[in-house]
């Protein structure tokens, strides 16, 4: 069992920008060092590393640059945006079975100034599953692939672009409260509605940013974290889920159900809590619609009721389920969701600044990957 076997002991971020001026390796080392020091550890204490696949940086880069003497576990979790939270599961398994004591999970990218996301999508192995039905009609950028999912939801359940706007506006509000967000100006519903169409029904402000920067967490075995610098944030549960076969988006029997729908019941059962116990949630937000769909698949509302749930203001800072309190991928930075984990840890430590949710004790973070893969973790401060 993974329940309470490990904790997040350290978190770190670089500044987020459109042009870092640093190499991807330097950004990796910066955010990793920040997280390791935040935990009160020395880089040589790291004995497990799970880098994000596809940045060109591998575990050996940390061995070489930090002089890590005895790396005992290295892996990657190639689930696209579901990778960082899936990496928590992989780390928790390695820690619980005694393979290692402190696992570093870093990501860094020059996603704005360097290789931009859409331009590299054709090369991603995950995209072989869209090769037959989507690529031949010119659909390969994420917005193109997810637009039909959003449209299907609108057709089935009457979901509206105004409900997507509420997500964008709310997330921007939180970004402004954060001291390290790329977007710093308020966004109105009218501006969202007037923004240009990227892939119908997804408008510009339904889409996440492309960003330079890095974010990292250190996960430690619970019994190795008692004397560290920060209050340990326990992993109550973590799970991943994959969509029904076939993975090709346009061929799925149900376009509006993501892999996280399978993982969520497992995670809540492992955590031994109910939805009402979640004080704050950081929900992967590559597109506004994906947030709405996940809230349903997670069970915070029934399928088809995500639009009204969001329109009610429930996900605002003062609502019953504050989400994306850092500004998310939509308005803070696109760190593939590692920034969501960092923010949840800050919330549970009580150090989230102006966006702090009062008395946040239990929180949830999700990841969403290219092919509909999903991951979630439930964390708590004791």
Q: Would you tell me which residues interact with a copy of itself (CB under 8 A)?
A: 1-2, 5, 53, 56-61, 63-64, 66-79, 86, 89-90, 92-94, 96-99, 125-126, 128-129, 239-248, 262-263, 266, 371, 373
Q: Given the complex with a copy of itself, which of 98 and 138 has the nearer CB atom?
A: 98
Name the minimum Å distance from CB 227 to a copy of itself: 23
Q: Given the complex with a copy of itself, which of 129 and 312 has the nearer CB atom?
A: 129
Name the minimum Å distance from CB 223 to a copy of itself: 14
Which residues are paired to 214 by β-bridges?
108
Name the minimum Å distance from CB 56 to a copy of itself: 5
53 with 27: CB under 8 angstroms? no
* Closest by Cα among 277, 344, 327, 304 to 155: 304
Q: Given the complex with a copy of itself, which of 129 and 160 has the nearer CB atom?
A: 129
* Closest by Cα among 213, 215, 195 to 205: 195
Beta strands 280-282 and 362-368, pairing class: parallel
Q: Given the complex with a copy of itself, which of 64 and 184 has the nearer CB atom?
A: 64
Name the minimum Å distance from CB 172 to a copy of itself: 33
* Closest by Cα among 370, 369, 286, 291 to 331: 286
Q: Given the complex with a copy of itself, which of 64 and 351 has the nearer CB atom?
A: 64
Task: Say whether the peptide bond before residue 159 is cis (omega within 30 degrees of 0).
Answer: no
Distance between CA atoms of residues 50 and 75, nearest Å? 5
Q: Given the complex with a copy of itself, which of 101 and 326 has the nearer CB atom?
A: 101
Burial class (CB in 10 A: 0-12, 13-18, 19+), 232: buried
Which residues are paired to 217 by β-bridges?
11, 105
Q: Given the complex with a copy of itself, which of 63 and 135 has the nearer CB atom?
A: 63
Name the minimum Å distance from CB 319 to a copy of itself: 32
Mark residue 76 as left, alpha or beta (left: phi above 0; alpha: psi -120 to 50; beta: remaining). beta
Please tell me the total number of residues recorded for the chain in this structure.
382
Instruction: Look at the alpha carbons of 16, 116, 148, 240 in this order and tell me if their dihedral is positive or negative.
Output: negative
Q: Given the complex with a copy of itself, which of 200 and 254 has the nearer CB atom?
A: 254
Name the minimum Å distance from CB 285 to a copy of itself: 22
Name the minimum Å distance from CB 169 to a copy of itself: 34
Q: Other C-beta atoms within 10 Å of 114: how many?
A: 15
241 with 263: CB under 8 angstroms? yes
Instruction: Look at the alpha carbons of 201, 206, 212, 215 in this order and tell me if their dihedral is positive or negative.
Output: negative
């Amino acid at each position: 069992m993974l329940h309470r076997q490990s904790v997040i002991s350290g978190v770190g971020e670089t500044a987020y920008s459109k042009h870092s001026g640093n190499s991807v390796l330097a950004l990796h080392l910066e955010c990793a060092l920040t997280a390791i020091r935040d935990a009160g550890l020395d880089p040589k204490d790291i004995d497990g590393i799970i880098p994000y696949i596809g940045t060109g940086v591998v575990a050996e880069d940390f061995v070489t640059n930090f002089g890590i003497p005895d790396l005992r576990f290295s892996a990657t979790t190639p689930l696209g945006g579901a990778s960082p939270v899936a990496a928590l599961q992989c780390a928790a398994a390695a820690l619980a079975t005694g393979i290692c004591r402190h696992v570093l999970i870093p990501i860094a990218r020059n996603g704005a100034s360097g290789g931009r996301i859409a331009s590299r999508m054709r090369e991603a192995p995950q995209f072989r599953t869209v090769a037959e039905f989507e690529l031949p009609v010119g659909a390969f950028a994420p917005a193109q692939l997810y637009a039909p999912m959003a449209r299907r939801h609108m057709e089935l359940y009457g979901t509206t672009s105004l409900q997507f706007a509420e997500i964008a506006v709310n997330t921007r509000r939180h970004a402004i409260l954060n001291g390290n967000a790329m977007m710093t100006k308020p966004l109105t519903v009218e501006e969202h509605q007037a923004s240009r169409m990227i892939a119908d029904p997804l408008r510009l402000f339904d889409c996440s940013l492309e960003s330079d920067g890095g974010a990292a967490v250190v996960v430690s075995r619970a019994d190795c974290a008692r004397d560290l610098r920060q209050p340990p944030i326990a992993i109550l549960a973590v799970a991943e889920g994959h969509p029904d076969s076939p993975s090709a988006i346009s061929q799925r029997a149900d376009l509006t159900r993501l892999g996280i729908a399978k993982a969520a019941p497992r995670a809540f059962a492992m955590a031994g809590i109910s939805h009402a116990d979640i004080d704050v949630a950081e929900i992967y937000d590559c597109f506004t619609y994906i947030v709405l769909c996940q809230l349903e698949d997670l069970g915070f509302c029934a399928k088809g009721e995500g639009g009204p749930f969001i329109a009610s203001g429930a996900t605002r800072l003062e609502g019953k389920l504050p989400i994306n309190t850092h500004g998310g991928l939509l308005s803070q930075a696109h760190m593939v969701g590692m920034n969501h984990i960092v923010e949840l840890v800050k919330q549970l430590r009580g150090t989230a600044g102006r966006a702090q949710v009062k008395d946040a004790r239990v929180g949830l973070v999700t990841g969403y990957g290219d092919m509909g893969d999903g991951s979630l973790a439930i964390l708590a401060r004791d």
